[in-house]
Structure 1
Amino acid sequence: MSTEERLSDAIPPRTVLLVIGVLLLQLGFILSYVGAFHSPTPSRVTLGVVGPHATVDSLNGLPGAPLDARTVTSERAARQRILDRELTAGLVFDAGSTTDTLLVASAGGPALATAVEQVLTQVEASQGRSVRTVDLVAPEAGDARALTGFYAVVGWLVGGYLAAAALGIARGARPATLRRTVIRLGAMVPYAVVSGLGGALVLDQWLHALTGHFFALWWIGALLTFAAATVTMAFQVLLGVLGVGLTVLIFVILGNPSAGGAYQAELLPTFWRAIGGALPNGAGTEALRNFVYFDGHATQRPLLVIVVWGVAGLLVTFVASALRLQRIARQPPEPEGRHAKHEL
């Protein structure tokens, strides 16, 4: 047996391709996480300014455009728009003193609130003024750095795609019949409901990290789990085992660093900032934070994103399975002798 034959016997060519795929995912993981987090810089952070128009123009003219300032009629209006998630922060100019007031809501992302404070502190200092920060909505005592929602989203998504992958490993990535496809998809419904319930119990009742919104946590978790499961099944039907790798690419390599967990979208480079809100990771993180801390304001869009992913995964799984089975049914049967040879 030649050396080439020995290598092929020990490591089949298919396995080599899989290992190369794993290597690419590994390098993609490093590139995505380091690329997203290595240099967080504020970009066009929405800021309401209660003060002269000249102040707004000056802030919008800062190098690198860290702020997107717009005039607000009063401090009360600025506070309300922050709570409604229309603004990230507010600056209230005090003509009677040299100290202005910065309004933030650090529960929406402490890193972003800190970045805005740093920018305005430097601007005010250059004008001989100072800024006093008022935090309108701080994270709960059990939600350090407002990261609990992000980690919960990661857990629900991981549970969804691992459950779907496990079904594929146990009984084949591509279901042999439409009935099996329907059963697999149906099995993900109770799994998602239980997954969401378990996560809500941990977050609210056990650890008291996010309290007072048990049912919102439950059903957001269930939606995320179901979306991850159906998308994974869809990729498996389309690509077989390689579909799991594509799932990891979307939910782990791209989804997690762009989700607004440690660093919010306005602090990320353009690519991650652009994709974050369109992926279930970012949509789930935003929905959880807005339900828990901002009375459910601005949750329609992120919830719609999660639902769209779930429905798309469901439809693609069903349609792709049906088309594949039709294609197999139209293929001519193998010759009898060849079939017998395969059986031997």
Structure 2
Amino acid sequence: MTKKTLPSRWRLASGGDGEVARLREQVRLLNSEMTTLRREKERLEGDKLCYSEHIIQFSITVSKLAEFPYASDPFELKNVTVTLHGAVIPDCEAVAQLVFWCEMLSSSVFDTTLITKCAINNSSTYTTGPFMQIVRLREGSQIPSGRHFAGPWNTIKSTFSEPAVKFSIKLVRPCKPSSIKFDAGDNYVTMILEDESIQVNAPYVSEWSDFLRSYFISPMKETNAGIYPIEDCPVDDFREMLDVIYPTGKPIDVWNVERMLVLADRFIMPMLTRQCELFLNDGHKHTMNEIQMLLLADKYNLFLTRTNILEKLTTTALLRSKIIKTEGYATLSHEMKRAVDARYVELDVQERG
């Protein structure tokens, strides 16, 4: 990226010529139209169309599992053949753990988001997950997921003679930044933010952003020599976004996650949104609490984050203390409060049963 002072004829100061004003208006109209189309698409498709899910229920014979690991029959999720495996494996501290993982066979190459959750004998004490991870699939190759630790094996087998396992597997629509090729040639355009110019690799950025893809092929480029002004966007935030999506691969962290969510929403970048969700759902990378993450999920329509937060709260007491009784609860949208209420009713029925 190159930073330089613009020639006076390109500065977007107030009172500029009529051509700049016309371009600004076209940008605003395009932004509004793309946002409207995205919202309409979300309403038509619905949240649940973003993933496919399979639930496996089976019993474990404690006397045999250590010697004969578990393997399910193969099943299909979004054109991926999945087999669930279970075994007793020592962890890094040599403690025997009940562990599950998936083997996935794909006919194409892409990165997918895998979410797993395990419940033993419908006990909240022995419920683990949901855990989220990205698995990089390869054509014709059997790829294993990461391990899902379900609990200490000695404790489980001393508590249950024949544990009943309910294992949920969600395979989310492709998240495939690794498949986007970075063109190091001369396919660059100049973007103007806050009177500064940035050279942007147009084909690469277009693969991430539906809005910018449409912007770069719009008629206005022919009347403005390939100069693309962006209104009301902090230039430092835009540079940070480029650092994240470019092959340099700057990670999402607590300092940039909300800024990336803002830009992902504005420029219609579902893969950047997904990377933010992966960060939010990895409790080892931040210390945000449940209501903080739920507020972000509400503001930026993060369906997976909303689902994971509510599913991790496995009792009505936890749901009350961590969500309903907090100050942030009052600011949640009606739709999010309805999702919280639905989860509360579900847990209440389980506890009364």
TM-score class normalised by the smaller sequence: under 0.3
The TM-score normalised by the length of structure 2 is: 0.23
When Rg is computed on C-alpha atoms for both structures, the one with the higher figure is: 1
Tell me which of the two structures has the higher relative contact order, counting C-alpha pairs closer than 8 angstroms and 6 or more residues apart: 1
Q: Which has the higher strand share?
A: 2
